[in-house]
């Protein structure tokens, strides 16, 4: 009753909604980079919210199923095939023992998510199944998954094919070339000149290939601060846009350290974090300001969308 | 206490700023507020992250029944302030044995040279002080310790090490700290403790907690090598 890793891909790991409550002991929250896609993966197979999934980045793995089960893929399109048959995103897929899922390089976006109906049967560490790749911490699978790893699942399931799937529109944000990203004013925004702020909001930035789960290193016109003093280390979070002395911004991602020492020009609103997380190196990112009220309204809107989708799939699974 | 500044770090985090001064007396108030909230969390509270002069409170705005969740959460937090006792928290002193032998003290000679001191004098100055844990950050269980004698301060290494061995005791500017894991880092390493700062089997995995006092005790290489981990607390 397991998923067997046959080819590891570039960066495949177990992630859930993160390890909360231990930042004051220095632990990163970690968890999925694209929470929208990961939640849709769980919704498709009617799992409880926050169930652990596989996060498969850049180049996907090959996985052999060692039980009958129902899986779903969401997020970046990695030209998924099971024993040669192409697989749609956002659709429950019954698989049988011995079949192999093969993923390739992401065509658009970076991260693809795999959920298994009933969830992955792996232990939690400090309340979460998420691997922390930088510290090599987690449950049984602390880092990247490797060839030969066998990830137990909770419940095998035999099923006929499903006739429905989620709308591909739900993944349209991944296919857009130009990424519009809204941000709240950072706590040190007044350390930056008007010129720097207007550069930041009027010229494109691009993610560099050095980006990883800790942070996306951006490249564009440099942002300089007026202050010569150092920032006293304070909290930083997923979405914090900090600017080191070289003026090239870094967006802290899911594996952000709990605290940071660079001035913050902004904080990306949560609704736009999935969009940014899927931005491949070289894609233009355009930053624009947003208000806290707008950001919190988007959270509510998002929750309503996910609830509606969940009601739909729950109903469909009842017919099952 | 009355001039705290609140700032929305994000849709789900409030940073409370206690001013610019880095002092244990002020930092203790941060930990007191943090403990007060954890002891009796407000609706939607997730966790809080203390740093030198700030406390950042994470919350779920969707769990706060208000059209203005940020304002409501600030209001909840302000309600804890009158109940925080002014007397200092009971603080624990943790003794950390450190071997300053050259095998472990990778940068001790350089720190001594830079400050025109002998290696022995640096060790003496490092073990003479009582240090204060301002907060844990940077890496799991990594304490930011204040109280370093300024005469042994040293800037970070130009090139960070790709791997600093677990237990390494380092200096960066006027801070000293201990690496709990083998991780990359740029602090100047002056010794190593055999004591484990992280125990991943514990429900509270970090040995040191914010607000603790720390004393370093020099031990011989022999004592380091024959060190046996006893129970923690």
Question: Per-block average pLDDT, block size 10, for chain A (320 residues)?
Answer: 97 97 95 98 97 98 98 98 97 98 97 98 94 82 92 96 96 95 97 95 95 95 85 95 93 95 95 98 96 96 97 92
Kindly identify which residue of chain B lies nearest to residue A126, measuring between CA atoms.
B203
Contact status, residue B16 vs residue A224, Cβ threshold 8 Å: no
Together in a domain, A144 and A14:
yes
- Judge: A184–B138 Cβ closer than 8 Å, yes or no: no
Please determine, for residue B7, whether its predicted confidence score (pLDDT) is greater than 60.
Answer: yes
d(Cα A240, Cα A256) in Å, to the nearest integer? 9
Domain termination residue (choose one: A148, A168, A188):
A168
- Render pLDDT for B76-121 as a digit per residue (tens, 0 to 9): 999 999 888 765 567 799 999 999 999 999 999 999 999 999 999 9
Which of A23, A267, A300 faces B9 most closely, judged by CB atoms?
A267
Contact list, A134 vs chain B (CB under 8 Å): 183
Provide the CATH number for the domain formed by B5-83 in this structure.
Answer: 3.30.1360.40
Together in a domain, A129 and A207:
no
Looking at the complex, does the CB of residue B51 fall below 8 Å from at least one CB of chain A? yes
Site from A39, A259, A299 to mutate, B interface, most B CB atoms within 10 angstroms: A259
Range of the structural domain that residue A203 is part of: 176-289
Contact list, A259 vs chain B (CB under 8 Å): 49, 51, 135, 137-138
d(Cα B140, Cα B62) in Å, to the nearest integer? 29
Determine how β-strand A93-95 pairs with β-strand A85-86.
unpaired
Q: How confident is the model at residue B233 (pLDDT cuts 50, 70, 90)?
A: very low
**Average pLDDT along chain A:** 95
Q: Where in chain B is the domain with CATH 2.40.100.10?
A: 93-225
**Average pLDDT along chain B:** 92
Kindly identify which residue of chain A lies nearest to residue B47, measuring between CA atoms.
A21
- Judge: A184–B52 Cβ closer than 8 Å, yes or no: no
- Judge: B136–A299 Cβ closer than 8 Å, yes or no: no
Please determine, for residue B132, whether its predicted confidence score (pLDDT) is greater than 90.
Answer: yes
Residues of B (139-178) whose Cβ lies below 8 Å from A: 139-142, 144
How many other β-carbons are positioned within 10 Å of the β-carbon of residue B86? 7
Q: How many domains are contained in chain A?
A: 2
Please determine, for residue B10, whether its predicted confidence score (pLDDT) is greater than 60.
Answer: yes
- Render pLDDT for A195-223 as a digit per residue (tens, 0 to 9): 999 999 999 999 999 899 999 999 999 99
- Render pLDDT for B25-65 as a digit per residue (tens, 0 to 9): 999 999 999 999 999 999 999 999 999 999 999 999 999 98
Kindly state whether residue A240 falls inside one of the protein's structural domains.
yes
The per-residue pLDDT for B4 is 94
Together in a domain, A118 and A258:
no
- Judge: B49–A23 Cβ closer than 8 Å, yes or no: yes
Name the interface residues of A facing B (CB cutoff 8 Å).
Answer: 20-27, 125-126, 134-135, 137, 184, 187, 232-235, 237, 239-240, 257-259, 267, 269-270, 292-293, 295-296, 299-300, 303
Together in a domain, A195 and A162:
no
Tell me the CATH architecture of domain B93-225: Beta Barrel (2.40)
Together in a domain, A27 and A122:
yes
Kindly state whether residue A214 falls inside one of the protein's structural domains.
yes
- Judge: B46–A21 Cβ closer than 8 Å, yes or no: yes
- Judge: A237–B9 Cβ closer than 8 Å, yes or no: yes
The per-residue pLDDT for B86 is 60
Contact status, residue B212 vs residue B114, Cβ threshold 8 Å: no
β-strand partners of B14: B8, B57
Kindly state whether residue A297 falls inside one of the protein's structural domains.
no
Q: What are phi and psi of B172, to 5 degrees?
A: -140, 110
How many other β-carbons are positioned within 10 Å of the β-carbon of residue A48? 8
Which of B11, B20, B47 faces A20 most closely, judged by CB atoms?
B47
The per-residue pLDDT for A99 is 98
Q: Which two tokens stand for residue A93?
A: 């897929």
The per-residue pLDDT for B61 is 96
- Judge: B141–A26 Cβ closer than 8 Å, yes or no: yes
How many other β-carbons are positioned within 10 Å of the β-carbon of residue B195? 17
Together in a domain, A163 and A77:
yes
Contact status, residue B106 vs residue B154, Cβ threshold 8 Å: no
Together in a domain, A125 and A182:
no
β-strand partners of B8: B14
Together in a domain, A163 and A233:
no
CATH number of the CATH domain containing A211: 2.40.100.10
Domain termination residue (choose one: A134, A168, A202):
A168
Q: How confident is the model at residue B230 (pLDDT cuts 50, 70, 90)?
A: low
Burial, A130: exposed, middle or buried (Cβ in 10 Å; 0-12, 13-18, 19+)?
A: buried
Kindly state whether residue A262 falls inside one of the protein's structural domains.
yes
Q: Where in chain B is the domain with CATH 3.30.1360.40?
A: 5-83
Determine how β-strand A250-252 pairs with β-strand A215-219.
antiparallel
Looking at the complex, does the CB of residue B63 fall below 8 Å from at least one CB of chain A? no
The per-residue pLDDT for A197 is 96
The per-residue pLDDT for B88 is 56
Together in a domain, A76 and A19:
yes
Q: What is the 3-state secondary structure (H, E, C) of chain B?
A: CCCCEEEEEECCEEEEECCCCCCHHHHHHHHHHHHHHHHCCCCCEEEEEECCCEEEEEECHHHCCCCCHHHHHHHHHHCCHHHCCCCCCCCCEEEEEEECCCCCCCCHHHHHHHCCCCHHHHHHHHHHCCEEEEEECCCCCCEEEECCCHHHCECCCCCCEEEECCCEEEEEECEEEECCCCEEECCEEEEECCCCCECCCCCCCECCCCCCEEEEEEECHHHHHCCCCCCCC
Together in a domain, A20 and A92:
yes
Together in a domain, A42 and A136:
yes
- Distance from the Cα of A111 to chain B's closest Cα (Å) equals 24
Together in a domain, A215 and A66:
no
- Render pLDDT for B146-195 as a digit per residue (tens, 0 to 9): 999 999 999 888 888 988 999 999 999 889 999 999 988 889 999 999 99
């Amino acid at each position: 009753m397991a998923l067997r890793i046959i080819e590891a891909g570039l960066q495949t790991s177990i992630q859930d909604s993160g390890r909360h409550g231990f930042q004051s002991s220095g632990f990163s929250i970690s968890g999925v980079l694209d929470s929208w896609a990961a939640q849709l993966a769980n919704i498709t197979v009617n799992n409880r919210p926050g169930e652990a999934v596989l996060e498969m980045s850049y180049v996907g793995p090959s996985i052999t199923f060692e039980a009958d089960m129902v899986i779903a893929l969401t997020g970046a399109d990695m030209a998924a095939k099971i024993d040669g048959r192409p697989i749609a995103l956002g659709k429950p897929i019954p698989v049988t023992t011995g079949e192999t899922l093969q993923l390739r390089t992401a065509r658009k976006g970076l991260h693809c998510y795999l959920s298994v109906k009933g969830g992955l049967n792996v232990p939690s560490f400090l309340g979460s199944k998420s691997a922390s790749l930088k510290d090599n911490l987690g449950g049984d699978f602390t880092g990247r998954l490797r060839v030969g790893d066998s990830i137990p699942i909770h419940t095998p399931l035999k099923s006929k094919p499903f006739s429905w799937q989620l709308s591909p529109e739900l993944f349209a944000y991944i296919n857009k070339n130009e990424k519009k990203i809204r941000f709240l004013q950072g706590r040190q925004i007044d350390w930056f000149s008007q010129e720097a702020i207007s550069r930041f909001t009027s010229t494109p930035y691009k993610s560099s290939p050095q980006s990883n789960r800790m942070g996306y290193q951006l490249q564009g016109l440099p942002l300089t601060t007026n202050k010569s003093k150092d920032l006293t280390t304070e909290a930083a979070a997923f979405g914090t846009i900090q600017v080191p002395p070289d003026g090239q911004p870094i967006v802290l991602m899911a594996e952000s350290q709990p605290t940071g020492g660079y001035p913050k020009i902004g904080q990306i609103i949560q609704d736009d974090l999935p969009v940014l997380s899927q931005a491949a190196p070289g894609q233009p990112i355009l930053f624009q300001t947003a208000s806290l009220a707008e950001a919190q309204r988007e959270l509510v809107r998002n929750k309503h969308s996910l609830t509606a989708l969940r009601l739909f799939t729950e109903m469909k699974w009842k017919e099952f | 206490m009355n001039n705290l500044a609140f700032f929305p770090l994000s849709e789900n985090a409030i940073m409370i700023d206690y001013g610019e001064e880095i002092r244990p007396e002020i930092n203790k108030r941060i930990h007191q507020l943090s403990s007060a909230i954890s002891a009796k969390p407000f609706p939607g509270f997730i966790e809080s992250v203390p740093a030198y002069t700030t406390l950042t409170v994470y919350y779920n705005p969707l769990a706060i029944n208000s059209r203005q969740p940020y304002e409501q959460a600030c209001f909840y937090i302000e309600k804890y302030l009158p109940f925080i006792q002014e007397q200092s928290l009971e603080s624990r002193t943790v003794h950390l044995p450190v071997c300053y032998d050259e095998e472990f003290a990778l940068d001790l000679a350089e720190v001594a040279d830079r400050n025109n001191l002998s290696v022995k004098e640096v060790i003496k100055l490092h073990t003479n002080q009582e240090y204060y844990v301002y907060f844990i950050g940077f890496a799991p269980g990594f304490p930011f310790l204040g109280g370093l004698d300024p005469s042994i301060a040293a800037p970070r290494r130009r090139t960070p090490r790709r791997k600093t061995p677990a237990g390494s005791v380092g200096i960066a500017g006027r801070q000293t700290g201990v690496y709990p894991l083998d991780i990359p880092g740029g602090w100047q390493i002056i010794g190593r403790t055999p004591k484990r700062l992280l125990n991943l089997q514990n429900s509270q995995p970090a040995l040191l907690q914010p607000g603790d006092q720390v004393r370093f005790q020099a031990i011989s290489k022999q004592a380091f090598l024959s060190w046996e981990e006893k129970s923690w607390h």
